[in-house]
Amino acid sequence: MSLTVRTISSADHLAYLTSLPSASFLQTPAWAAVKSEWRAESLGWFDGAKIVGAGLVLYRKLPKVAKYLAYLPEGPVIDFAAAVEGPGGLSAWLDPMVKHLAGKGAFGVRMGPPVVLRRWDATTVKKAVADPALRTLGDAPAAATDPRALAVTSELHRLGWREQVGEGGFTAGQPKYNFWVPLVDADGTPRSEDAVLRGMNQLWRRNIKKADKAGVEVTLGGVDDLAAFHRIYAETAERDHFTPRPLPYFQTMWDALNGEDPDRMRLYLAHHEGDLVAATTLVRVGTHAWYSYGASTTAKREVRGSNAVQWQMIRDALAAGCTVYDMRGITDTLDPEDSHVGLIQFKVGTGGEAVEYAGEWDLPVNRLLYLAFQQYMKRR
């Protein structure tokens, strides 16, 4: 098989993704509009005239030089595991991509292969957090390890790709560890609401019941409700010490994603006696649903609006035929003194599983400029 890579239209890109069970929302054509500070391009992999892969590339310009970092967040959308085992291995797929990107002025390429290396069930994670001998999630025994995914990382090392540690700013890096709530059994049978609820810990079940008894109402909002969401999101940011995104970012995200698919992004609002107490956003591509942003007020924490809104999103993901409810990133720390452990414990209560992705990988195209880029990042 001789593969070629070339620019494709947004329509062809979206049509290919629609033919698949799912793909990361960061690889949809619409995401280019959300990241408007980056120049974007849709790529297609072709076997003859047939498209067999796609990717959204975001180009970020180096200061003072007309050269770019080419970034494919949680992509490209190709079957990495099958590619390793196929004719020519990963080189057959990645070499034509790198050649194309270099022709567009890329000094380096960064990608995030969407393959899961290992999984840990909720019981294991809970025990690991309580075990002082374990410092990171990787120290705990995994419930499942995918040898085909591990072969992908071995092949990337062999081909000269460099695994990246988490960075901020320029890289816009994605989490290596996520937390999933599986919505199907091992054989693919959809789980019932009761089965998912039974899988949660006692605290989660009690809080969901408490919210219902208190009269918390969860409804879907529209674009005009984003301002109310943002108000308590900013309150959450101040309370939890993170920098919030501005309201226009969410408005752009709403317009772009729902312009591509009218049910791509949803806004959930939890009210108690007329007061907004929690709000979240959900993104769905095919059979994968992501909890993307959440907010809650300091007042009325006792009515458990956050649990109520999460439960409604899970129920809706089940009703939409999703196979996984993705609660997005966690850190791998198990240090009880680390503030991030609280987030892990909150998500573990859903009875889901921690998953480890392959992470993000760089390939220097122009080694001198790539070195300059690394030095630039260290100074930021």
The whole-number pLDDT of residue 168 equals: 31
Three-point CA angle 279, 284, 287, nearest 5°: 135
Mean pLDDT for 336-344 is 79
Entry pTM? 0.94
- Give CA–CA dist 354/348, Å, rounded: 8
Sign of CA dihedral 366, 372, 375, 379: negative
- Give CA–CA dist 144/218, Å, rounded: 36
> Worst-scoring range by mean pLDDT, 126-130, 197-201, 288-292, 347-351?
126-130
The whole-number pLDDT of residue 1 equals: 67
Residue 167 pLDDT grade (very low, low, confident, very high; cuts 50, 70, 90): very low
Helix (H) or strand (E) holding 61: strand 50-61
Q: What mean pLDDT, rounded, does the chain reach?
A: 94
pLDDT (tens digit per residue) in 351-360: 999 999 999 9
> Worst-scoring range by mean pLDDT, 132-141, 165-174, 236-245, 344-353?
165-174
3-class state of residue 4 by DSSP = strand
- Give CA–CA dist 175/28, Å, rounded: 18
pLDDT (tens digit per residue) in 282-294: 999 999 999 999 9
Sign of CA dihedral 334, 155, 25, 197: negative
- What phi and psi values does residue 187 have, to the nearest 5 degrees? -90, 5
DSSP β-bridge partners for residue 278:
270, 296
| Burial class of 95 by CB neighbour count within 10 A (0 to 12, 13 to 18, 19+) | middle
Does the pLDDT of residue 139 top 60, yes or no?
yes
Residue located via tokens 């994605």: 174
